[in-house]
């Protein structure tokens, strides 16, 4: 089965709306709720950490059940149809806390109420994201063949990174990163919020309407214990989720710190500088989304990822000293930010391609399609790592506040503190073989066709 190019685009572009919302909230919520709303940094970190655990559990359970059900819409689409509007609802309320709470109130009762509000809607947002994205990603090996999967992944990643770049740019451009924090609530703010949320839902409609799952996929009789036993005996899969877990520990911190780091440490003196920074970030990521695959063909997926992550481990400790370089902030971004963004591009390419290859190979070897549980369970350890990352980040910011009266030290120190987990991930990558997966899958497919 060959997926027509128009349907590849329909599937790949779906991620735009959800990625835009995720980026805007991930980059800014931790910073805004801690600074503008003066939420205790420890409570901030706890909220963020719990939300990661929630999304991990939703990934796992939705992955299993989306493998097991059968409806007239298919196995995956019912979850997408539920998850897309739920994600929009969670995002709307995260955007408008100032409709319910005064800005920056030190009143302990208001603080704890804000903590509960933030925790509730952040967890709803993450839970909905798991409901939406797990079955969506599990569709990839079920609608594509091996040779076309890299193309579909590239379309998906281009859509992701345009969304990520747009979300990051808009968040920074506002100077009050959740866009709607400053000033009294207005009907215009609500209109903007609802419009952004509606865009997320609209982008999933072409996938729901036009992209069909491979015919003949019937849910087998399974139980969760047996499925877990199967996937955890896959050495490549276990090694991969460990490596990605340690990497996600660092990338979660980078994502949550980037706004504060740029605004308070790197600094920018004009809107022109900010525009240049945003354009440089987007172009770097888009260019390297095509450069990294070329390198993968020459030296393999594993070696390419190792090279990128070693570069990341070298760059991260410089957060401690680069603010003191006597050069303009825009130059700092060019010589420091561009290589960082290129490393992130490599990580996100692999994050989608490798699990799809693993699931497809397993399906060929066993005759059972379990892409959902493969993609879903990976979210459990990955988000546990991210939860601990958030707890640590909140504590570091709180400690900085205790020492100097602001969270400023956390922006300097997060690089050196989060570097060791990148090194651990690189060591793990040396012991797992990512490259034969797709080749082996294609060989098995040819053998199956001949039989």
Q: Tell which wins on pLDDT, 241 or 267.
A: 241
Neighbours of 197 (CB within 10 A): 21
How many structural domains compose the chain?
1
Residue 218 belongs to a domain: no
CA 207, CA 256: separation in Å to the nearest integer?
30
pLDDT at 355: 80
Token representation of residue 41:
């940094």
Neighbours of 411 (CB within 10 A): 25
Instruction: Please check the confidence at residue 132 and state whether its pLDDT lies above 70.
Output: yes
User: 212 by DSSP, 3-state: which?
Assistant: coil
Q: What would the pLDDT profile of 192-251 be if each residue is shown by its tens digit?
A: 778 888 888 898 888 888 877 766 655 556 666 777 788 888 888 899 999 999 999 998
Return the CATH number at 79: 1.20.1250.20
pLDDT at 186: 59
Instruction: Please check the confidence at residue 309 and state whether its pLDDT lies above 70.
Output: yes
Token representation of residue 416:
């050196």
The pTM of the full predicted model, rounded to 2 decimals, is 0.73
Cα dihedral sign for 37, 38, 40, 44?
Answer: positive
- Of 300, 312, 343, residue with least CA distance to 432: 300
pLDDT at 29: 83
pLDDT at 134: 81
Residue 1 belongs to a domain: no
Q: Tell me the pLDDT band of 442, cut-offs 50, 70 and 90.
A: very low
User: 176 by DSSP, 3-state: which?
Assistant: coil
Overall average pLDDT of the 146-157 stretch: 68
Residue 25 belongs to a domain: yes
Q: Tell which wins on pLDDT, 377 or 410.
A: 410
Residue 128 belongs to a domain: yes
174 in Cβ contact with 27 (< 8 Å): no
pLDDT at 185: 55
Residue 450 belongs to a domain: no
Instruction: Please check the confidence at residue 432 and state whether its pLDDT lies above 60.
Output: yes
Q: Tell which wins on pLDDT, 144 or 206.
A: 206
Residue 162 belongs to a domain: yes
pLDDT at 450: 47
pLDDT at 175: 43
393 in Cβ contact with 253 (< 8 Å): yes
Task: Give the range of the structural domain holding residue 275, as residue numbers without chain letter.
Answer: 15-208+224-445
pLDDT at 217: 58
Q: Tell which wins on pLDDT, 82 or 290.
A: 82
- Of 2, 21, 86, 43, residue with least CA distance to 398: 43
Token representation of residue 418:
């989060």
Instruction: Please check the confidence at residue 319 and state whether its pLDDT lies above 50.
Output: yes
Residue 214 belongs to a domain: no
Residue 400 belongs to a domain: yes
Instruction: Please check the confidence at residue 154 and state whether its pLDDT lies above 60.
Output: yes
pLDDT at 448: 42
**Average pLDDT of the chain, as a whole number:** 79
CA 374, CA 238: separation in Å to the nearest integer?
10
């Amino acid at each position: 089965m060959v997926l027509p190019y128009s349907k590849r685009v329909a599937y790949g572009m779906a991620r735009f709306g959800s990625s835009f919302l995720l980026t805007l909230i991930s980059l800014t919520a931790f910073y805004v709720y801690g600074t503008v709303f003066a939420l205790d940094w420890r409570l901030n970190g706890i909220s963020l950490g719990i939300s990661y655990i929630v999304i991990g559990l939703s990934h796992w359970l939705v992955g299993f059940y989306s493998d097991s059900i059968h409806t007239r819409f298919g196995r995956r689409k019912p979850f997408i149809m539920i998850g897309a509007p739920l994600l929009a609802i969670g995002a709307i309320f995260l955007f408008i806390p100032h409709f319910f709470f005064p800005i920056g109130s030190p009143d302990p009762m208001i603080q704890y109420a804000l903590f509960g509000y933030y925790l509730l809607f952040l967890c709803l947002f993450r839970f909905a994201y798991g409901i939406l994205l797990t079955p969506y990603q599990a569709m990839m090996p079920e609608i594509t063949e091996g040779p076309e999967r890299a193309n579909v992944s590239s379309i998906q990643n281009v859509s992701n990174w345009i969304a990520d770049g747009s979300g990051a740019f808009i968040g920074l451009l506002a100077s009050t990163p959740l866009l709607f924090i400053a000033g009294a609530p207005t009907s215009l703010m609500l209109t903007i919020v609802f419009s952004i949320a509606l865009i997320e839902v609209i982008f999933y409609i072409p996938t729901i309407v036009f992209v069909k799952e491979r015919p003949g996929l019937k849910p087998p009789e399974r139980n969760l214990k047996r499925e877990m036993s199967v996937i955890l005996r896959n050495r490549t899969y276990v090694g991969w989720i460990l490596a990605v877990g340690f990497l996600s520990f660092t990338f979660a911190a980078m994502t949550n710190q980037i706004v504060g780091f740029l605004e308070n440490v790197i600094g920018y003196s004009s809107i022109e500088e900010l525009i240049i920074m945003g354009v440089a970030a987007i172009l770097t990521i888009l260019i390297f989304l095509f450069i990294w695959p070329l390198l993968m063909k020459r030296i393999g997926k594993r070696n390419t990822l190792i090279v990128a992550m070693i570069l990341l481990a070298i760059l991260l400790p410089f957060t401690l000293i680069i603010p003191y370089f006597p050069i303009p902030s825009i130059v700092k971004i060019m010589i420091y930010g561009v290589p960082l963004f290129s490393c992130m591009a490599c990580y996100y390419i692999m994050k989608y391609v490798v699990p799809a290859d693993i699931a497809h190979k397993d399906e060929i070897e066993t005759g059972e399609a379990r892409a959902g549980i493969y993609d879903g369970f990976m979210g459990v350890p990955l988000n546990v790592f991210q939860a601990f990352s958030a707890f640590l980040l909140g504590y570091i910011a709180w400690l900085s506040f205790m020492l100097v009266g602001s969270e400023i030290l956390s922006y300097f120190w997060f690089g050196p503190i989060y570097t060791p987990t990148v090194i651990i991930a690189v060591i793990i990558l040396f012991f797992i073989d990512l490259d034969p997966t797709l080749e082996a899958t294609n060989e098995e497919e040819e053998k199956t066709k001949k039989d």
